[in-house]
A and B are shown apart, each in its own frame.
Chain A
Amino acid sequence: MAKRKTQRLYFILLGGLAVATGVALVLTAFEDSIVFFYSPTEISQQTLSPGQRIRIGGLVETGSVNAEGETTTFSVTDTAESLNIVYRGILPDLFREGQGIVAEGYMLASGVFQASDVLAKHDETYMPPEVADAIKAAGEWRGDEPQQEATSNSTMASP
């Protein structure tokens, strides 16, 4: 039977080990699984290493949506700049022109964004906060008070 002091030492040792393991795991994981968000303007201003996973967002430009088989190409805009996106798969239920969307993927060498996921809110009045910020940053935001972002019953879903 251990003495009380030995036992306390054992507790401290185990606790320290747990904290160290947690920190080590978090640091390794953070290195390559944090995904940054960029607006089309930000993308036009900086070079990203090809293949780096990022999120982009904006309004789907009217007349830009083009479907060929299961591959869809479209462009999003923050009203200042726009970005071409290519996506293979079923688009979310509320994807349409003029809608604010967020896409995750990476830049191709051609300057086209290859999306692996497209997210849209299941609510036509919804504007993803990142997109709203991006449009505000581009200086074109008109009207809608912030409450608009979270009308009741919005749901984010991807195909």
Chain B
Amino acid sequence: MNPEIGHYALALALPVALVQAFVPLFGAARRDAALMAVAGPAALLQMLLIGTAFAALTQAFIASDFSVINVYQNSHTAKPLLYKISGVWGNHEGSLLLWVLILAVFGAAVAAFGGALPDRLKARALAVQGMIGTGFLAFILFTSNPFLRVNPTPAQGLGLNPLLQDPGLAIHPPMLYLGYVGFSMAFSFAVAALLEGRVDAAWARWVRPWTLAAWSFLTVGIGLGSWWAYYELGWGGWWFWDPVENASFIPWLTGTALLHSLIVVEKREALKSWTILLAIVTFSLSLLGTFLVRSGILTSVHAFASDPTRGVFVLALLAIAVGGSLTLYAIRAPKLEPGGLFSPISRESGLLINNLFLATAAATVLLGTLYPLIADALELGNLSVGAPYFNTVFIPLMVPLVLLMGIGPMMAWKRSDLAGVLARLKGALFGVGLVFALALSLSGIDAIDIAGSAGIALAAWLFFASFTEWAGRVRLFKLSPANLWKRVKALPRASHGMTIAHMGMAVLIVGVSGSSAWKQENILTMGAGETITVAGFDVTFHGAETIRGPNYESVQGTFSATRGDGKAVTLKPERRIYDQPAQQTTEAAIHTAFWADLYVVLGDGPADTGRYVVRAYFEPFVPFLWYGILMMGLGGLVSLSDRRHRIGAPLRAASIVELAKG
């Protein structure tokens, strides 16, 4: 395929998106079925055109067509195939194309499978998708065209940043984008509902699967980014409160709030306008996240594109999307029918408090992330806001939230009995006490040990309480195995999903607390035969050799580690120098023993002495982070597989809910 075909397809997609944005909207206002029906075919055509453009760019990358500037700047013939493909979105232009492709695929999915949606809601939601598409396509075509040619054709490309040549990072951006763009569906439905002037349980049932899918992808995407930073950057940490990490984490926080408030709308038709606001805010933050990362405004790990001329366009797009939707919200939200009433002790109230904690956390993280920009603009000095700020504001907000997470799912709708719920959690509380005592006895009684043990006790609370809730619903211990299995199968998948995700969160908290409290490190300049000790491990250096990789040369050290008289494990950290671009990367060697990692980094040594600076880390509970994130993603998927969440089945859902309650 030829880049010009891709370029042409992309240019054609813009008018198609414009048609999709305005014709159905006009049709919905005039109740003209023929005009509204344009939305579906336009969405499908848009997917086809953008898909063609994306395929053309991918083809140019695979074929190493260096006459395309984008390929020339980001690829190289010696690069392995996987990274030629991931190079498509490893740059500003290509990543935007991926963004808009995912948007088009989601829009087409609504067009193709949204048969049960009311015509006007569907037409309006697709029109909003068309507007978002229009903005992005114009941005790509006018400021960030990936198909520009260069003449004469260079013989070789400049290569992709070696740090990005990694399997984890190859799929990290697509996962993040599936999350960001997934929230665009919630946004489109929210704006459509505002135009419609109606938000009800059915609306929440249509939006929930999209939000759930977006949330699951974003969770896994953020997890992948953290995992990559942990093993690739070689500094032994997994979360840095880096602006780019925050950019994806803030929409995750509000998206999590949205996921929960949608349940209240679906079950009780309460918190309607708050939910609409959350949908708007979450997508706006996703947009902000996309642009903060892409614009390079924030000096940070992944800011690999920057061009001031694009800034104005980005700001205009943000202003239109955020300003427009919030204005519409201000006008229409007060006209929504008031929702159901509930008592301060009730499931609704629990979910509302959850939302307030998450929203407050999102606001404080956003403030910390943007503060250096604000201070710079107001000439308050050149400053940075580091991890201490985020830890100070974030942890006090998360602890009560997690305590509430244990109680909330057991509370009844409308009005609940807190004493009764707590009585059912006696067993869980007893377990928490045991875990806390055990953690203290294994670690010690220093302040840091108490803090770490308290974190693990908090996790135990969430884990046991979630289990108690699940056990109560399936009547574990009360039914015969055959009946129990029937009961487990009859319980809605969404309930299983919630339990898995909440338990995943508990596992994640074990990882966060344990690794923050008990991580150990040591550093030493070593020659062959010398030993560095960390956390009782003896790590012996056996020398380094130079090896040749597909597109890099590497100094690889060999270490063996033993603890006590246990079996020795071999670790082979590397320092790589890539051919093109000539950059150095550190490849840490990590040995995982289920609950802890041993992590060794080979540094530079004094020249030509055969000695190297070696850093060794003992990273307890870090693997729990990845197990927890996988469980959360899995919980989302299990919940998504609930038949009530299928796009085609909204009408039958009400009767299934009744069944499940009985």
Contacts and interface: CB of A to CB of B under 8 A. Distances in A.
Interface in A92-110: 93-94, 104
A91 B606 contact: no
Contacts of B397: 21-22, 25
Interface stretch (A43-51, A78-86, A142-150): A142-150
Interface stretch (B78-86, B171-179, B210-218, B353-361): B353-361
Given A14-B353, A159-B234, A34 B385 contact: yes
Interface string B431-449: 0000000000000000000
A89 interface: yes
B107 interface: no
B296 interface: yes
A88 B523 contact: yes
B615 A153 contact: no
B521 to A, nearest CB: 9
Contacts of A37: 381-384
Nearest to A69: B525
Contact of A157 (B233, B360, B388): B233
B136 to A, nearest CB: 20
Nearest to A133: B382
A11 to B, nearest CB: 8
A49 to B, nearest CB: 16
Contacts of A22: 360, 363-364, 393, 397
B603 to A, nearest CB: 3
Nearest to B357: A18
B601 to A, nearest CB: 6
A155 B386 CA distance: 18
B421 interface: no
B524 interface: yes
B341 interface: yes
Interface in B121-161: 160-161
Nearest to A42: B382
B604 interface: yes
A138 B483 CA distance: 80
A7 B414 CA distance: 12
B559 to A, nearest CB: 15
B305 interface: yes
B163 interface: yes
A158 interface: yes
Interface in A11-28: 11, 14-15, 17-19, 21-22, 25-26, 28
Contacts of B363: 22
B305 A18 contact: no
Nearest to A37: B382
B15 interface: no
Q: How large is the interface on B (under 10, 10 to 19, 20 to 34, 35 or more residues)?
A: 35 or more
Given A90-B604, A155-B301, A32 B523 contact: no
A147 B603 contact: no
Nearest to B603: A90
Q: Which of A3, A149, A152 has the largest number of chain B CB atoms within 10 A?
A: A152
Interface in A103-159: 104, 122-123, 128-130, 133, 146-147, 149-150, 152-159
B338 interface: yes
B307 interface: yes
A149 B297 CA distance: 11
A33 B585 contact: no
A147 B307 contact: yes
A25 B360 CA distance: 10
Contacts of B584: 93-94, 122
Prevailing SS type, chain B contact patch: mixed
A93 B235 CA distance: 11
B385 A1 contact: no
A4 B338 contact: yes
A1 B415 contact: yes
Contacts of A55: 384
B164 interface: yes
Nearest to B271: A11
A156 B388 contact: no
Contacts of A147: 306-307
Contacts of B393: 22, 25-26, 29
Given A21-B397, A37-B382, A70-B523, A90 B341 contact: no
A107 B586 CA distance: 29
A128 B615 contact: no
Nearest to A93: B584
A93 B583 contact: yes
A153 B164 contact: yes
Given A1-B341, A21-B397, A159-B235, A33 B603 contact: no
B583 A123 contact: yes
A1 B414 contact: yes
Nearest to B236: A159
A33 B583 CA distance: 33
Interface in B345-403: 352-353, 356-357, 359-360, 363-364, 367-368, 371, 381-390, 392-393, 396-397
B381 A36 contact: yes
Contacts of A10: 344
A157 B163 contact: yes
Contact of B615 (A14, A36, A89, A129): A89
B303 A35 contact: no
25 contacts: A1-B343, A2-B342, A18-B357, A21-B360, A22-B363, A22-B397, A25-B392, A25-B396, A26-B368, A34-B385, A36-B383, A70-B525, A89-B615, A90-B586, A93-B584, A94-B583, A122-B161, A147-B306, A152-B73, A152-B92, A152-B304, A154-B304, A157-B301, A159-B601, A159-B603
Among all A-B residue pairs, the 8 with the closest Cβ atoms: A150-B306, A90-B603, A29-B392, A153-B161, A33-B388, A33-B389, A93-B584, A37-B382
Given A14-B353, A33-B385, A104-B386, 19 more contacts: A1-B341, A4-B338, A14-B352, A22-B363, A22-B397, A33-B392, A37-B384, A70-B525, A89-B613, A90-B604, A90-B615, A93-B583, A133-B382, A149-B306, A150-B303, A152-B73, A153-B160, A159-B586, A159-B615
